[in-house]
Amino acid sequence: MKIISGKLKGHKFKTKENSSYRPITGRIKEALFSVLSSGQFIDSETNKSVLEDATIIDVFGGAGAITFEAFSRGVTKGVIIEKDADSFASLQQNTKALGLVGSLEVIRGDATNLPPAICGCSIAFIDPPFKEGLVERSVESLVKKKWLTEDAILVVRTHYTENFNIDKGAEEVFSRKYNNSLLKIFRLREL
């Protein structure tokens, strides 16, 4: 896989062979980061996007495509949670290869039962396996274990037919269908 824009543009990273995860496509990834770099996601005082100098968490790390792209576009600190042992090992190797050791923590764990927070994150990426009903449980765990800062942004990718309800004072601010994926962005108004 390859990083498509930013300071790490063109860098490739290895993925687990014969994996069952479905990495985000370049089209969806580009659309997501275009949205996060424009409009309501730009601070009117500093003219910076929410990505610049942000701390993020990616709770279904997979290949790390979203996290590595986020770092390329201005994120300075982050955490990836990954349950699968082989994917976890690949994420650790890629973190080293991309020079992100010290900035990116890779934790082997379950997104629905997270460990206590090691930092407060302003953006959470939630891209679970499709049609397994994991969105609500992962958001509950993020809130319960205090991973999110006030006004955190939740970026959720699901199958377009999948229904979920985030009942934590989250306001939906973006929604768009891309092929079989539905991309939604929420701003958490209360913890």
Residue 112 is assigned to a structural domain of this protein: yes
Reported confidence tier of residue 26, pLDDT bands at 50, 70, 90: confident
Number of domains in the chain: 1
Residue 38 is assigned to a structural domain of this protein: no
Provide the whole-model pTM.
0.92
At 181 the pLDDT is: 92
Residue 33 is assigned to a structural domain of this protein: no
Residue 46 is assigned to a structural domain of this protein: no
**The amino acid at 14:** K
Q: Which domain holds residue 174?
A: 51-188
Residue 19 is assigned to a structural domain of this protein: no
Q: Helix axis angle, 26-36 relative to 65-72, nearest 10°?
A: 40
The domain that holds 65 is classified in CATH as 3.40.50.150
Residue 1 is assigned to a structural domain of this protein: no
pLDDT over threshold 70, residue 88: yes
Helical H segments across the chain, by residue range: 26-36, 65-72, 85-97, 135-144
